[in-house]
Amino acid sequence: MIVVLSKGISLHDKELVRIYLKDRGFSIREQGFGEDSIIGATGKGVVDIRELGLLPGVERVTATSKPYELVSRETQSEDSIVTIGPVKIGGARISVIAGPCAVESKEQIRETAARVRESGAVLLRGGAYKPRTSPYAFQGLGMKGLEYMKAAGEEQGMPIVTEVVSPELATQMNDLTDMFQIGARNMQNFELLKKVGSLGKPVLLKRGPSATIEEWLLSAEYLLASGTKDVVLCERGIRTFETYTRNTLDISAIPVVKGLSHLPVIVDPSHAVGIRAKVAPAALAAIAAGADGLTVEVHPRPDEALSDGPQSLIPDQFERLMRDIEAMAPVVGKELLRTPRPSLPHSAGVKAIAAITGSIASAVAFCGETGAFAEQALMRAFGEEAPRISTESFSGVFDAVLDGSAMAGVVPVENSLAGSVHENYELFLRYPDIAMVGELKLRIVHCLIGDERATLDSIAIVRSHPQGFAQCRTFLDKHPNWQLEPYNNTATAVASIAREGAIKVAAIAGEAAARAYGLKTLVSGIETNPLNYTRFVIISRRVGDTAPVPPSLGSDTPNKASFVFSVPDKPGSLFACLKVLSERGINLSKLESRPIQGQPWRYLFYVDVNIPEASNVFNTVVDELKSKTEDFHFLGAYRASL
Ligand code: PEP
Ligand code: MN
């Protein structure tokens, strides 16, 4: 039974209500619940509800038929929405949590966070304290692991959720975590529930492998009764006679719990099935059954994982799963939740570059129109508010940076499907005073964009950059009657439709271009291969002879460098250069040869390398390379984008 007290109830009247209930055999617990202050009364007491309702300071009395009250739909009919920073769970959205089973190293969690974020995960998961069945198995990195995870989450704009295994650790971990996870093995660790509930943070409560739904809801009741308002339930498979899968995913628990409780329910398909190939179908089934989200284990190299490798998805599988969820969401009346990704505050980027170049301009230049992918990259690096100059050609970007009207520029140098953007490599050679100072990789998702009234049937003409057509070949092949019209830039193609307002013309471009011109996205994600990335570099004026220290786009010291050179036309000359890298332990991440214009059958090599931590080694390497090459251009040193 729940007694809701009036807002202004006096201490005296409250005490009278307590005494009234206790005298009639109830155990009571008082707490705030949303806006209200309530008293939950449990036990076998007998009371006249009308009489209780007439006591001074009592607003209303709700009798519940269940042993749990605060979690019950009888107490609150509308869905609870749990908020963790920018993330919401519950209501008409699907929120996806992803990350490794355990944090294994700073690099592993950073890399995983970047990959799952790119695919649309909004919360980062990872165990720092792992309750393992065997005492000899990896137990987690502890507080160090939590620090790594927090930093990785901040870098990607993702709050973090991590398992807490004891009341003492809950206090220690409180400042570093955004949401606590109570693991399946601890679902009925009541001291832990009370402690974690009292900290007031959102909690993800896993269902115990042998717990009934009622026991699970009673554990959630402990959390709410101890003080937190935000609990998300997580079905992660229960123990049955079936041994093929690690556990048995109780799909029917989703609609059952949603009927019994107002709390959001998500599903962990990874621990439920325990087999990588079965995770995605189980995840989709959970969404179809009404789950408010998922928590999925993802590892960049599952074969090397220290725990739960066999059930961890590789990032590409997770990417595909997210696309399937996005396609399925409207069927269940929901939308996949996306949260904004962090960008460097403009002022920080400007200051960093201005400190190097002494530039007083604050604008950043890009080639194309509003909504172009280069503008997306620019906003990611310098902030949405960054003042910008758009140019009609790539050389326009170099000119703006050189003449000082822009303090930096953003140009594409490589696409993962189409290869290098040679025009820009050639511009670096023509503009020796311009250097690469930062790098950024942008996922390219193409959409079919048209007028509000356009449909797939009304379209006869499609406009885009030839790259847009090439990257959406499979989709376009399904519409052989469409006439393709090439444009200079994908955003320019979209702008032309906005001007003409015709329903028979559509464009292939990014979602941002549709938004910029108020047009409709008819189909999203039409690129043939979803692993479609473009590498942009940030350019600024070179200072002195040496490569400029890059602005802290990401962090600290440069770890990647690019250069272009040619080699003498004699046996072993390229080998001699590669030998320098090999002997100094320098990793070569790109090597490409290109014809030199005006010199038939002579070639330039485009090279990217990783810079080792001891940078004095690197300076020696550069000197050695200069002595073995003919035309050496150091394009810049910068922080590699993940
Ligand atoms: C986990 O999510 O890392 C975990 C250990 O899950 P469970 O408690 O469901 O076994
Ligand atoms: Mn795990």
Q: According to the model, what pLDDT value does residue 549 have?
A: 41
Residue 248 included in any domain: yes
Q: Is the pLDDT of residue 548 over 90?
A: no
Regarding the beta carbon of 40 and ligand 1, being less than 6 Å apart is answered no
Q: Which pLDDT does position 554 carry in this prediction? A: 40
Which of 101, 189, 204, 206 is the pocket-test mutation for ligand 1 (most atoms within 8 Å of CB)?
206
Q: Choose which residue among 129, 132, 163, 246 to substitute to test ligand 1 binding: the one with the highest number of ligand atoms within 8 A of its C-beta.
A: 163
Average of pLDDT values for 532-536?
Answer: 91
The band of 179, judged by pLDDT with boundaries at 50, 70 and 90, is very high
Regarding whether 625 and 488 lie in a shared domain, the answer is no
Residue 407 lies in a domain: no
Q: Based on the fold, state whether residues 171 and 237 are members of the same structural domain.
A: yes
**pLDDT of 558 above 90:** no
Tell me, what's the pLDDT at 552?
36
Q: How many helices (H) and strands (E) does the chain have?
A: 21, 30
Stretch 184-196: mean pLDDT, rounded?
Answer: 97
Q: Is the CB of 271 within 6 Å of ligand 1? A: yes
Hey, which residues are catalytic here? Answer: 534, 536
| pLDDT averaged over every residue in the chain | 90
Which range has the worst mean pLDDT, 439-453, 517-531, 554-568, 619-633? 554-568
Which helix or strand (DSSP H or E) is residue 458 part of?
Answer: none
Taking residues 132-159, what's their average pLDDT?
Answer: 94
45 burial type by CB count under 10 A (0-12 exposed, 13-18 middle, 19+ buried): middle
* 484 and 520 within one domain: yes
Pocket test for ligand 1, best of 236, 238, 311 (most atoms within 8 A of CB): 236
Q: CA–CA separation, 140 vs 305, rounded Å?
A: 12
Determine the average pLDDT of the residues in 433-455: 91
- Here the tokens at position 202 are 């959102």
* Structure confidence by residue, pLDDT tens digits, 462-473: 999 988 999 999
Kindly state whether residue 534 falls inside one of the protein's structural domains: no
Amino acid at 60: R
Residues 122 and 202 in one domain: yes
Specify the number of domains making up the chain: 4
Ligand closest to the CA atom of residue 269: 1
Ligand nearest to the CA of 185: 1
Give the residue numbers spanning the domain of 512: 447-524
Atom of ligand 1 nearest to the CA of 295: 2
Q: Are residues 96 and 139 in the same domain?
A: yes
Q: Band of the pLDDT at 640, cuts 50, 70, 90? A: confident
CA torsion through residues 541, 546, 547, 551, sign: negative
The pLDDT tens digits for 59-92 are 888 777 778 889 999 888 999 999 999 999 999 9
CA–centroid distance, 433 to ligand 1, in Å, is: 54
User: Considering the domain boundaries, does residue 254 fall inside one?
Assistant: yes
Residue 550 has pLDDT above 50, yes or no: no
Q: What pLDDT score does 103 carry?
A: 98
Query: Is it the case that residue 28 has pLDDT exceeding 50?
Result: yes
By residue count, the chain amounts to 642
Instruction: Write the CA distances from 48 to 23, 54, 55, integer angstroms.
Output: 13, 10, 11
> pLDDT tens across 493-521, in order?
999 999 987 899 999 999 999 999 999 99
CATH number for position 600: 3.30.70.260
Confidence band for 360, pLDDT divided at 50, 70 and 90: low
Same domain, 332 and 240: yes
Which residue has the CA at smallest separation from atom 3 of ligand 1? Answer: 101
- Range of lowest pLDDT (226-240, 367-381, 409-423, 537-551): 537-551
Q: Is residue 236 lining ligand 1, measured as CB closer than 6 Å?
A: yes
Where a domain ends, among 62, 94, 111? 62
**Cβ proximity of 485 and 540 under 8 Å:** no
* Nearest residue by C-alpha to atom 5 in ligand 1: 183
Mean of pLDDT values over 440-452? 92
pLDDT value of residue 639: 80
Whether residue 190 sits in one domain with residue 86: yes
With 70 as the cut, is the pLDDT of residue 551 above it?
A: no
pLDDT tens per residue, range 252-293: 999 999 999 999 999 999 999 999 999 999 999 999 999 999
Q: Are residues 169 and 289 in the same domain?
A: yes
Which comes out higher in pLDDT, residue 35 or 341?
A: 341
> Which ligand lies nearest to the CA atom of residue 183 in the structure?
1
Structural domain contains residue 343: no
DSSP conformation class of 127: B
Ligand 2 ion: residues within 5 Å (CB): 101, 308
Q: Residue 234: CB within 6 Å of ligand 1?
A: no
Contact call for residues 446 and 440 (beta carbons, < 8 A):
no
pLDDT of 55:
92
